[in-house]
Amino acid sequence: MDDQRLGATIRAIRVRRGWRQSDLAGRSGVSPATISRLERGHPGLLTVDTVRRVASALDIRVDLVPRWRAGDLDRLLNAKHSQLHELVARWFAQELPAWVLAPEVSYAVYGERGVIDIVAWHPGRRAILVIELKTDVVDVNQLIGKVGEKARLIRQIVRDPAMGSAHAVDVGDRRFGRTNRGRLAAHQAVLRAAFPADGRGMRRWLGDPAGSAAALSLATEPAARPLMLTRRVRRRTK
């Protein structure tokens, strides 16, 4: 986090809104002295939660960008992602050979761009599954929204408007990301509303993909069966 840039941003937006430091302090639940320290670029011992509360009061999103002096942080993070990818692909090959998997499917539809970690296709049922892999959950709302975008666009991506579709998120736990379980638990109500079913129901659907459902669980060990956060969409009938 760039402390000086953060402070300058907070001050500029506060002034533009015509707020005093005391106004911002009251809206974010902190002291005016805390606002002053932040605006001068000296967050010191303030918690990340405090910084984000102040920023949120001004509709500012704060992203912390970790950097490692060893220089190969991307390779380290990608290695965990690749491990989770291999876990899911191996499980499909062993347990669900009827599904055909395509990794890293990029798309650009109506100005929306991204990469789908795994697209799985069931020829017999003409069902398609969008799988999002996460080794670290940072923003639950963004996660739900991005997976929803990919599921909404999948028919255009594969250029077949008649096929049924589903979407899933595999979230790594333990060796993949020790804090994921706690983050998901903190947003349990939101996730349950978006994905109300359980992993067992998803496995049944994977064996016979028809109808609709939604589920949430974690991939807890490298050798364990992956559990999915999934929504199924009814197939169109002619």
C-alpha 219/C-alpha 180 separation (Å) is 11
All structural domains of the chain: 3-57 (1.10.260.40), 73-233 (3.40.1350)
- Inter-CA distances, 190 with 116, 142, 220, Å: 23, 12, 22
C-alpha 184/C-alpha 70 separation (Å) is 31
Instruction: Pick the more confident residue, 210 or 206.
Output: 206
User: What is the helix (H) or strand (E) element at residue 115, kind and residue range?
Assistant: strand 112-122
pTM score:
0.60
User: What digits encode the pLDDT tens for the residues 66-115?
Assistant: 776 655 666 667 788 888 888 889 989 999 999 999 988 888 887 788 88
